[in-house]
Structure 1
Amino acid sequence: MSHLSLLLLLLAHSTYSTLLGWVESPGYPNGYSPHASLNWSRCAPQGHTLSIRLVHLNLEDSQDCENDAVKVYSNGNLISVICGEKEFKELESTVNPWLVSSPGGCLSLSFYSDYSNTKSHTGFRGFYTDQDFDECQDDPDNRCTQFCHNFIGGYHCSCRHGYLLDTDKHTCTVNCAKDLSGLNSGEISSPSWPASYAENANCQYTLSVGDHLQLELNFAEEFDVEQSPDGQCIDALRIETPSGTLGPFCGRTPPQSPFLTHSNHVLIRLTSDGYGANKGFTLHFKTRDKVCPEVVTTHSTVAPQQQEYSQGQTVTVTCDLGYVVNTHGIKTLSTQYEATCQSTGLWTPTYSCEPVNCGSPAIPEDGILEVVASENLNTQYKDQIQFNCSSKYYRLEGDDSYTCSANGEWVSSDGQVKMPKCIEDCGKPEKHPPSAGRILGGQDAKLGEIPWHLLIRVPSRGGASLISDQWAVTAAHVVENVEQTSLRLYGGMVIGATNLDTFPGVVVMDSDRIIIHPDYIQGITDRNNFDNDIALIRLASRVNLGPTLLPICLPEVNTGFVEGEQGTVSGWGKTEGKGGTALVTSGKLKYAPIGVYSTEECKNTPNIENNKPTVFTENMFCAGADGKDSCQKDSGGPFFVPMLAEGSEPYSLRGIVSWGPPCEERQYKGYYTKVENYVDWIKETIEKNS
């Protein structure tokens, strides 16, 4: 009888509670056994909650309830862990209030005992009930803006007199839509004026008159639309016309009167939030003849300049700097046009002024010069682009930043419209440790140590120097009898193997143009005149530069030589065989440091053919060293400074191996084409033939 009384007392606390059943530990009340367990779960209907009320608890007590325990979950989330022994009053105050599901949610209970108990425990018992959830009282998110009415399983909203329940069934608003079309004058006020306007209002006042008229609005000085302390509109008054929306207006300052709408159709809209007690606005409207506004189109000015224009007046529209006229979707280079005011208050014609578009910059398709972040390239007036070189073997020549100018051209910061270039970073081989030894009397070059030296094998063995990614320079006599497209060059290696066309790592290059200096005398059988012994070779395609294939720099014009100045000569020509006697063609690229002789020494020329003295000109110099010299088959190869052993950069091409006495005579004096005398010719020729 006492249990029934207790249950009736508990149920009396909730008007809408319904007893659903009991939940208790296995063996209750005689006690549970070791390793006992129970899993229980129930869910509440929508708009209801489920609760558990424990009326008895007698379990083994342990730290953190790690031995025997009751665990309760709400929608899978643990909300309570219980063990030990608690009286009913303690359960009511510390446990039961929290054993409640969310509306429409589920409760789960699990019980377990461990392997042993020091004494017998009766377990637990409780009952679970279904009860209505009072959304109006307990749910802060019921969203009723005025009245909330709870019923079993749900709730509904209602409104005060004069308000309507909106379609969302929660918001109370006022019916303040008025259509005043056809009236030439009248008054419009916010709802309840001069009392406070309603919350959650969306008032619309429609005005419409003849096409030849426009509506003029005159606001009363008393104006009060809610505004935040930082000036933002909380509530807002907007004036909507076919050409756009004016506003929002709020605060205590009304729109300037008279307010010309330049339209015969106007929608005045007032919106408010759910709070506040502001008075709103009142205005008088009337009609007047249409006039054209002072602005014909955005981003432009007009002349003559007036606040308004009457029918028939014509103005000149001038687009702002950096904008051009767009006529029917076609951009022109024009920045002006004429427009005439019509009786409808519209300008005719009305063309938009749109930003000048410089378009994508014209850059080579080789992929070396690239625009940074080209995927999102903006090309309109005042937009900026940046350039860089995609390869570390090139450097940018010119400004790296360009801006789209008002005349539609990309312009650098110093006013240049010519695009920058990626120039080969010449004369800078990657670092190599210096060689121990000191071509004839030379030493083997390491791979990449002289990356500009190219090998020519047919029709005769010789050398050339790479000066860009598509041009090489050599001696004219090496190529004077070669067809334009039959010359093959090899680079990126230091070996002289017979199978170079398929040798790993070797770069094979074919020519498509050979340009011999116009002042070089061709066709001499017994040559003793090597003046202007220089030729350019244009490669059929650009080569991919890398650590083993790089160009050498051209010297400055009029650099001049100092007697004894040291440089390096390299080549695959003849060198001393074993024992230092017979001369043999080298199988590897060799180099040697040599010094420049005086002009007087150079004028003392040797006889190289038919005992005829060889001509020495100002376009030549000679160099050598004791036991070191260029030799046969080295023709066309480079003499460069500074000496390779010094490790200074960049290296520049000062000479081209041209002629000299037979190496067998051991005179150690070779003659070179003086490259500085031909720099202008080289640059002009490349420019004309690129």
Structure 2
Amino acid sequence: MLRLSLLLLLLSHPARCMLLGWVESPGYPIGYQPHASMNWSRCASEGYTLSIRIVHLDLEDSQDCENDAVKVFSNGNLISVLCGQRDFKELQSVVNPSLVSYPGGCLSLSFHSDYSNIKRHRGFKGFYSVKDFDECEEDPENECSQFCHNIIGRYRCSCRHGYHLGTDNHTCTVSCGKDLSGLNKGDISSPSWPGLYAENADCRYTLSVEAHLQLELHFSGVFDVEQSPDGQCIDALRIETPSGIMGPFCGHTPPPSPFLTHSHRVNISFTSDGFGTNKGFTLHFKTRGKVCQAVATSHSTVTPQQPEYEPGQTVTVACDLGHIVNTQGHLKLSLQYETTCQSTGIWAPSYPCEPVNCGHPDIPEDGILQLTDSENSHTRYKGQIQLRCSSQYYTLEGNDKYTCSAGGKWVSSSGTSQMPKCTPVCGMHENAPASAGRILGGRNANLGEIPWQLLIKEPSRGGATLINDRWAVTAAHVVEALEETSLRLYGGLVDGRTMSLRSSDVVVMDSERIIIHPGYTRGDFPLGRINYDNDIALIRLTSRVNFGPNLLPICLPEVNRGLVENEQGTVSGWGLTEGKESLVTSRVLKYAEIGVYSLSQCQNTPRTPTGSPMIFTENMFCAGATGKDSCQKDSGSPFVIPTLSAGTGPFHLAGIVSWGPPCKDREFKGYYTKVENYVDWIKETIDKVENT
């Protein structure tokens, strides 16, 4: 009876269905054993589907088929889990319709049973078959634009009368392109004009006439090309010449008529999609003599101005602002040239007007002033750059943004073409002295408290002051006996011992040039020097020093600032200081806060060992306090005063330790070179050397 049912089932299917085989559980139909299992898999060819039809199902029933089960997968994805008992009708109507693969896909089946059954179950049996997949009926994405025909294993498309199948073998289109070369006049219209144009049209018309002629297009009648509500072209008309593509044109507004192409070669294309009910267009083409257009080259104007120019007319082409003439590949500073309209409708000679190129900005090679983004900075006309100082110890003096001007120079918003400078941040330090100290028995300085102080160890001990990254200042008598390149200075330290000079914090600097003030009197004084007027010298270093928290420059004072009696300042140095029994050379940098004395006190000068009075001039001042003073070997060191009345920075260099009575006399009065009298000389000397 079962065999007869199966035979009737097979005969009821279309002839195109082919039975391939049976699949059944182990031991079927007698029954499967505990711990039984099996795996099965088959695949269909392209254009076919594979199906399984279960004809008998008798398994142990359990919740979610946890005990015994048969599972069916399509391309690895689970599509059905079966257990229990199902009658033939339920299998046919509910279960089997879902056991079908995708076209060209695979089905796999697995069966397992657990360790025991209360009663024996027969298992399952089914048969698998492949059949042709009807793409036309079952696949809505078959891509045939008109007719679809199913064929065993595949499908094909066909078209209505008047259409042909495109190269993709799916889209029906019309043959509407023509080569109209050699015709001086004629008509072109969308396919089926004046009826609705065909869908999926791809029309291309080629026009070509003699080189001295140009094609002129005249649109007439209705212009109706499909357009979206937001104005985008769905179907489109395009006109292409050697100078470019004009269009797309669509909607109800045709191109201007007459449409001058200014070319003897024109390609006209019309495309449509698979939908829409629009009429299209019609045009008449003819020829006329070529003329030259009012634009000879981009970024320029033509003089005299006319809508068009006849052959033989000569005009002047002037480049727009910020552009110059490129003559045969060589940019010149010429802004205009003459050209003549040719019979072919082109200007000759014709040179492009290209943007002015300002080139890379003139930035010093010291690396302090930098472009913020050199890779993305544009150097052509209207390009912009931005500059910055690479170190926190410098400040930008001038504008930071520059634009490439029409004159080929980088110009700031204020109109200057001079590049900014990075000037050192002077007179500031991160660790200010906590309180007043004394050089004679004074307070020891910590690193960074007096970062502008420099040490001179040889040939005689003294001090100097850093005023920028290439220059220092000291007393002239400290360096008067030296050759110009024989001086070594140390900075970024407080301990002057030789061993400490190996520390990584110490900065060693060598002099490149020593410039003593021309008003300073040099020479030997056997009976003792009595005149220290103009006791100041500049030291140019061999290379730029790198600033840090322990090495920073001091500010120069304002010219004619003036010093006020009792005005407080700080003097520092590695000179003599109080020892246990006598004065000794200090190993550590010391500082003291002292006040400026009155003019009358300063004019009461000490005498030399021979009894000669020392000379006091307007280029000096004196300062000190009870128990506080500079001393021998402090010469050349700084006396600094805070710029702000509150006693805070920035500090400026008010004086340079110059001379005074012997420290052992305990007069506590030192004489200093008044730096404000030499600011102009310092700046002029530095500028002269740097610009030589």
TM-score by length of 2: 0.92
Residue 146 of structure 2: aligned partner: 146
What displacement does 1:104 show?
Answer: 2.2
What displacement does 1:504 show?
Answer: 2.8
What displacement does 1:188 show?
Answer: 1.2
Residue 225 of structure 2: aligned partner: 225
- Between the aligned partners of 1:128 and 1:3, the Cα distance in structure 2 is 16
Q: Deviations over 1:119-147 (max 9, x none)?
A: 66555444333232222233344322222
Q: Could you tell me which amino acid in structure 1 is paired with residue 555 of structure 2?
A: C
Please say if residues 322 and 356 of structure 2, whose CA atoms lie closer than 8 Å, have aligned partners that are also in contact: yes
Mean Cα displacement is larger for which, 245-254 or 641-650?
641-650
Please say if residues 436 and 592 of structure 2, whose CA atoms lie closer than 8 Å, have aligned partners that are also in contact: no
What displacement does 1:68 show?
Answer: 5.0
What displacement does 1:560 show?
Answer: 2.2
Alignment of 1:544 with 2:546, yes or no, is: yes
Residue 134 of structure 2: aligned partner: 134
- Between the aligned partners of 1:35 and 1:599, the Cα distance in structure 2 is 118
Residue 180 of structure 1: aligned partner: 180
Taking structure 1 as reference, are residues 366 and 113 closer, same or farther at Cα in structure 2, changes over 3 Å only? farther
Please say if residues 462 and 633 of structure 2, whose CA atoms lie closer than 8 Å, have aligned partners that are also in contact: yes
Mean Cα displacement is larger for which, 114-123 or 619-628?
114-123
Q: Deviations over 1:410-432 (max 9, x none)?
A: 11111111112222222222246
Name the Cα RMSD after superposition.
2.7
Secondary structure at 1:681 match in 2: helix
- Between the aligned partners of 2:442 and 2:554, the Cα distance in structure 1 is 21
- Between the aligned partners of 2:71 and 2:435, the Cα distance in structure 1 is 81
Residue 259 of structure 1: aligned partner: 259
Taking structure 1 as reference, are residues 643 and 343 closer, same or farther at Cα in structure 2, changes over 3 Å only? closer
Alignment of 1:448 with 2:466, yes or no, is: no
- Between the aligned partners of 1:447 and 1:60, the Cα distance in structure 2 is 90
Q: Could you tell me which amino acid in structure 2 is paired with residue 527 of structure 1?
A: R
Please say if residues 325 and 335 of structure 2, whose CA atoms lie closer than 8 Å, have aligned partners that are also in contact: yes
Please say if residues 296 and 347 of structure 1, whose CA atoms lie closer than 8 Å, have aligned partners that are also in contact: yes
What displacement does 1:27 show?
Answer: 4.2
Q: Could you tell me which amino acid in structure 1 is paired with residue 574 of structure 2?
A: W
Mean Cα displacement is larger for which, 501-510 or 232-241?
501-510
Residue 317 of structure 2: aligned partner: 317
- Between the aligned partners of 2:676 and 2:93, the Cα distance in structure 1 is 103
Secondary structure at 1:181 match in 2: coil
Q: How does 1:7-46 map to 2 (within 5 A)?
A: 9=9, 12=12, 16-29=16-29, 32-46=32-46
Mean Cα displacement is larger for which, 223-232 or 43-52?
43-52
- Between the aligned partners of 1:297 and 1:223, the Cα distance in structure 2 is 33
Taking structure 1 as reference, are residues 113 and 286 closer, same or farther at Cα in structure 2, changes over 3 Å only? same
Q: Could you tell me which amino acid in structure 2 is paired with residue 199 of structure 1?
A: E
Taking structure 1 as reference, are residues 20 and 323 closer, same or farther at Cα in structure 2, changes over 3 Å only? same
Q: Deviations over 1:36-87 (max 9, x none)?
A: 4433333222222333344455556666655555444433344455556555
Residue 415 of structure 1: aligned partner: 415
Mean Cα displacement is larger for which, 626-635 or 499-508?
499-508
- Between the aligned partners of 1:372 and 1:11, the Cα distance in structure 2 is 84
Q: Deviations over 1:203-222 (max 9, x none)?
A: 11111111111111111142
Residue 362 of structure 1: aligned partner: 362
Please say if residues 145 and 172 of structure 1, whose CA atoms lie closer than 8 Å, have aligned partners that are also in contact: yes
Q: Could you tell me which amino acid in structure 2 is paired with residue 292 of structure 1?
A: C
Secondary structure at 1:206 match in 2: strand
Residue 534 of structure 2: aligned partner: 532
- Between the aligned partners of 1:544 and 1:87, the Cα distance in structure 2 is 94
Q: How does 1:664-679 map to 2 (within 5 A)?
A: 664-679=664-679
Q: Deviations over 1:80-105 (max 9, x none)?
A: 55556555555556654444333323
- Between the aligned partners of 1:167 and 1:58, the Cα distance in structure 2 is 55
- Between the aligned partners of 2:243 and 2:399, the Cα distance in structure 1 is 45
Q: Could you tell me which amino acid in structure 2 is paired with residue 568 of structure 1?
A: T
Residue 577 of structure 2: aligned partner: 575
Alignment of 1:439 with 2:459, yes or no, is: no
Alignment of 1:391 with 2:391, yes or no, is: yes
- Between the aligned partners of 1:482 and 1:25, the Cα distance in structure 2 is 111
Secondary structure at 2:270 match in 1: strand
- Between the aligned partners of 2:117 and 2:644, the Cα distance in structure 1 is 92
Secondary structure at 2:203 match in 1: strand
TM-score by length of 1: 0.93
Please say if residues 567 and 643 of structure 1, whose CA atoms lie closer than 8 Å, have aligned partners that are also in contact: no
Q: Could you tell me which amino acid in structure 2 is paired with residue 157 of structure 1?
A: C
Residue 685 of structure 1: aligned partner: 685
Mean Cα displacement is larger for which, 390-399 or 281-290?
390-399
What displacement does 1:290 show?
Answer: 0.9
Alignment of 1:404 with 2:404, yes or no, is: yes
Residue 429 of structure 1: aligned partner: 429
Q: Deviations over 1:216-246 (max 9, x none)?
A: 1111142112222222222221111122222
Count, aligned residues:
688
Q: Deviations over 1:418-475 (max 9, x none)?
A: 1122222222222469479762232122122222211111111111122222221222
Q: Could you tell me which amino acid in structure 2 is paired with residue 180 of structure 1?
A: L
Secondary structure at 1:375 match in 2: coil
Q: Percent identity?
A: 72
Q: Deviations over 1:499-547 (max 9, x none)?
A: 4553332211111111222222222423222222222211111122222
Residue 556 of structure 2: aligned partner: 554
Secondary structure at 2:9 match in 1: helix
What displacement does 1:159 show?
Answer: 1.8
- Between the aligned partners of 1:46 and 1:572, the Cα distance in structure 2 is 97
- Between the aligned partners of 1:651 and 1:7, the Cα distance in structure 2 is 112
Mean Cα displacement is larger for which, 186-195 or 111-120?
111-120
Taking structure 1 as reference, are residues 246 and 455 closer, same or farther at Cα in structure 2, changes over 3 Å only? same
- Between the aligned partners of 2:537 and 2:447, the Cα distance in structure 1 is 26
Residue 248 of structure 2: aligned partner: 248
Q: Could you tell me which amino acid in structure 2 is paired with residue 492 of structure 1?
A: G
Alignment of 1:278 with 2:278, yes or no, is: yes
Mean Cα displacement is larger for which, 193-202 or 251-260?
193-202
- Between the aligned partners of 1:496 and 1:178, the Cα distance in structure 2 is 97
Taking structure 1 as reference, are residues 364 and 71 closer, same or farther at Cα in structure 2, changes over 3 Å only? farther
Please say if residues 570 and 641 of structure 2, whose CA atoms lie closer than 8 Å, have aligned partners that are also in contact: yes
Which sections of structure 2, spanning at least 5 residues, go unmatched? none
What displacement does 1:487 show?
Answer: 1.2
Secondary structure at 2:681 match in 1: helix
- Between the aligned partners of 2:4 and 2:521, the Cα distance in structure 1 is 130
Mean Cα displacement is larger for which, 143-152 or 306-315?
143-152
- Between the aligned partners of 2:551 and 2:119, the Cα distance in structure 1 is 91
Secondary structure at 1:612 match in 2: coil
Secondary structure at 2:375 match in 1: helix
- Between the aligned partners of 2:365 and 2:199, the Cα distance in structure 1 is 64
Q: Could you tell me which amino acid in structure 1 is paired with residue 557 of structure 2?
A: P
- Between the aligned partners of 1:462 and 1:315, the Cα distance in structure 2 is 78
Please say if residues 221 and 254 of structure 1, whose CA atoms lie closer than 8 Å, have aligned partners that are also in contact: no
Taking structure 1 as reference, are residues 323 and 614 closer, same or farther at Cα in structure 2, changes over 3 Å only? same
Please say if residues 439 and 634 of structure 1, whose CA atoms lie closer than 8 Å, have aligned partners that are also in contact: no
Please say if residues 433 and 449 of structure 2, whose CA atoms lie closer than 8 Å, have aligned partners that are also in contact: no
Q: Could you tell me which amino acid in structure 2 is paired with residue 668 of structure 1?
A: F
Taking structure 1 as reference, are residues 562 and 234 closer, same or farther at Cα in structure 2, changes over 3 Å only? same
Secondary structure at 1:600 match in 2: helix
Taking structure 1 as reference, are residues 316 and 645 closer, same or farther at Cα in structure 2, changes over 3 Å only? closer
Q: Could you tell me which amino acid in structure 1 is paired with residue 161 of structure 2?
A: H
Residue 205 of structure 1: aligned partner: 205
Residue 491 of structure 1: aligned partner: 491
